Structure 1
Amino acid sequence: MAAGRGNAAGRGAGGAAVSRLALACLGVLLAALTPVAAAADRRAETVVLKDFAALGSGDVDGLAAQFAPQFEMYGLPAEPLALEGKLSTRMRTREELRAFFRTAFLDQPPAPHRVEQMLSLGDLVVVRVATHLPDGTPPDHAFTAFRVGTDGIERIWHIAREADAGPQSGQDALEVVRRLGEANNRGDAEAFVALYHPQAKHFHARHARDRFGGAESATPPDADARLRYYRELYARGAPAQVSLIDSVALGEWVAALERYRGGGRPEREHLSLYRVRDGAILAEWHVAP
């Protein structure tokens, strides 16, 4: 989210084991090349857009109205393979939010916030937002996730920030995710595995529902084991075809909204986050559903 608000947020051998791992990994197969229509439910997105509009205009009451009576706000992660940073103790209620920003806007006038990219699935929203400062310097960009409930924003995760980010920031990382999707859809184990860092980590929300991104999934321990696994998985072709619906990218970070077809299951959508460095995926988080 905005820089100002972010600063306030203080894997046995054997066929049976391979089958279990296959089931675990099907949920995190990656995005394909061709985008399709975006999801229809935009209610959560509307709340987030109103939040940024109020933040940028200095409308403290309008800002507070977009939040649940009590909420959680997390600062930037201290660990490289984490999505949650320190939980704020300064802004936890609408009243505390009002008090904070009434003082903050006296010290520094509100700065326009422009949502450059946005996607959502159910109550989760991920954005790339630019903060335009009055001095005319290039805007700082943030990669932020929200959970929006019936009463408004319930949780915010400030995941990454990049000063003076250009329009192309994140495009190299997004291209890796696209290439990974192409490799999956044609069942190309070698190309698929080559796009992972040898010690890449996989996380799934079902392993820890109380933590954004969940906990680590069982994965092959190294690149050779990963290649053996995917050769077996793709022996009869890709278990599912995956299409990219939408994406948000900044620096090393990509959020991908994906639609899965096949695998003996109904068509379904998933939201995943990826961290990519030097052309290799360091980690992926299957965050919803």
Structure 2
Amino acid sequence: MPTAAHDAGAPGRRSASGGAVVLAATPIGNLGDASRRLTELLGEADVIAAEDTRRLQRLVHGLGVHPRGRILSYHEHSEAAKTPELLEAVAGGATVLLVTDAGMPAVSDPGYRLVEAAVARGLTVTAVPGPSAVLTALALSGLPTDRFCFEGFLPRKAGERASRLVELRTERRTMVFFEAPHRLAAMLRALVDAFGGDRRIAVCRELTKTYEEVLRGTAGELASWAEAGEVRGEIAVVAEGAPEAPPARTEDLVADVQSLVAAGTRLKEAVAVVADEAGTSKRELYAAVLASR
């Protein structure tokens, strides 16, 4: 039976210690997107764990907030070392506010390790929802939003990136990626190689900022655009899912069965294998194979 750590939608409801880990979404570009709850917690939290303390200082200055709590750096290279310290603070009754450079912590940003450890100890974990580059890009892309997946950053090495995209070639859901501007052209060209040049793509740049730009087109068109000049800013790429595969033709399935039989597989076994892969009737395929002889 699942257990509950008394997580709640508001920081006022806590577990026995009275403390909580609070994941707070920060603006992805426009300071006006900061919520009132975020502003209040930046001023009231006992501890603020920030991915970049310099960016945090710019944020609180822009919001006119004066944090009363202790501020510490919490990024990908310090997560392992500082997570126990933060857990002890929560266990002692402290509110630990986790913020990253932009958007929701733990989504392609530090935070997962802390949440996993807090849940394992039965400590309260809650969130202050807000801006999300993933959802903003998806909504603006013009591509289907009913089913989607987030793939984060693709591998930097060309071979590993190509292998990952081959795995995603048949993914039917809309896909959202992050990419660095200096790697965008190579990433889009890899999309063309893996998905084909006609797959619909949206490149979302500098979302919510002054120079926000969303370019929509085919993978081939946008790869050529990226290769033609220097791209700057924060980038999210949204890719259309794979089209539904056309139903296999009976003559092609018969040929597949005959190939397996020629390789030594018994007829009934060959029919079963091919029919299962194609999602068709074994009986009808078996009859078609016999009729072709």
Scaled by the length of structure 2, the TM-score of the pair is 0.25
More helix per residue: 1 or 2? Answer: 2
Scaled by the length of structure 1, the TM-score of the pair is 0.25
* Greater Rg by CA: 2
More strand per residue: 1 or 2? Answer: 1
Higher RCO, 1 vs 2 (CA within 8 Å, ≥6 residues apart): 1
